[in-house]
Amino acid sequence: MTQSARARRARLQDQLQVRLPHQPELVLVTDLDGTLLGGSSAWRRRLYAWLVEQRERVLHIFCTGRDLRSVARLLQEEDRLGLHPPHLVIGDVGCSVACGASLDLVPLAVEPIEAAWHGRPEVLLPLLAGLPGLSPQPVTADRRLAYDIDPEALDRGRLAVIEGHGVDCLVSDNKYLDILPAGVNKGSTLLALLEWLEVEAERVVTAGDTLNDLAMFETGLQGVMVGNAEAELVAALPRLPRVYRARGVGCEGIVEGLRHFGFGSLLGDLAG
């Protein structure tokens, strides 16, 4: 490791304000809606309890389109099923990185994204205001713009003009549009975070169900596409050789995928 890499890692550890597992056996990176929040209540309770029990062996990262305020509300609501804060959160479709418990931002991870986003809203908002088929989402999105879409009214060809201003336009579940700094997504932010944490790729498994998870699967890391994945994501499966298509929905699919990738001994009774 170079001296600059050591210094960067030391800075990151100082900013995390959370104790991470020492040499985790598994790094589990999960989307939320439809994935970690998907499946039967019984499967969700089982997986959530296992994550708590294995906290010293499994480094858990939320990787979600939700903003951090929404994640905070979710953790309060889902406590009834035993969902605990993860170690880390990648939110805003890759535009935020935060500590899991406090949800405080990690400046080292966020500052480059902030720089790439600087000045974009002032240019983009007037262009988007006149675009049919868009309704601003009632969220406080950070370092991105978030819209609900009417797929019949939206002229997707117009999005290419928007992307000419240094951003990427991501449509997912045929319902949502996220406008992100060019090159920033769930996958790019995850890879940067794993590099800083010095995690071996073979210990990482990602899981998701919609098109905004495609960037995670395109990293080449092991991935689980859960059984309820949207059709557009499933269509990409042939070009994703390290992604396993689970039959199980949501949490059951995550467990099925972990077993497929050889983590059965770590799962124990949870593997079925």
pLDDT digits (tens, 9 = 90+) for 152-178: 998 888 899 999 999 999 998 888 999
Q: What is the mean pLDDT of residues 6-17?
A: 66
* CB under 8 A, 24+ apart: contacts of 267-271: 267/50, 270/46, 270/47, 270/50
Is the pLDDT at 63 greater than 90, yes or no? yes
Is residue 9 very low, low, confident or very high in pLDDT (cuts 50, 70, 90)? low
CB 95 within 8 A of CB 143: yes
Closest CA to 248 of 271, 265, 232, 269: 271
Give, in order, the Cα–Cα distances in Å from 212 to each of 71, 93, 175, 200. 17, 7, 12, 24
Strand 58-63 relative to strand 26-30, pairing: parallel
Is the pLDDT at 269 greater than 90, yes or no? no
> Which CATH fold topology does 114-181 show?
Hypothetical Protein Ta0175; Chain: A, domain 2 (3.90.1070)
Is the pLDDT at 89 greater than 60, yes or no? yes
pLDDT digits (tens, 9 = 90+) for 193-227: 999 888 899 999 999 999 999 999 999 999 999 99
Give the separation between CA 41 and CA 78, rounded to whole angstroms. 11
Give the separation between CA 83 and CA 85, rounded to whole angstroms. 7
Architecture of domain 3-109+184-271 in this structure: 3-Layer(aba) Sandwich (3.40)
Give the dihedral sign, CA 114/13/104/141: positive
pLDDT reported for residue 8: 62
Domain ranges in the chain? 3-109+184-271, 114-181
Is the pLDDT at 15 greater than 80, yes or no? no
CB 230 within 8 A of CB 211: yes
Please state, rounded to an integer, the average pLDDT across all residues of the chain: 92
In the DSSP assignment, the letter for residue 105 is: B
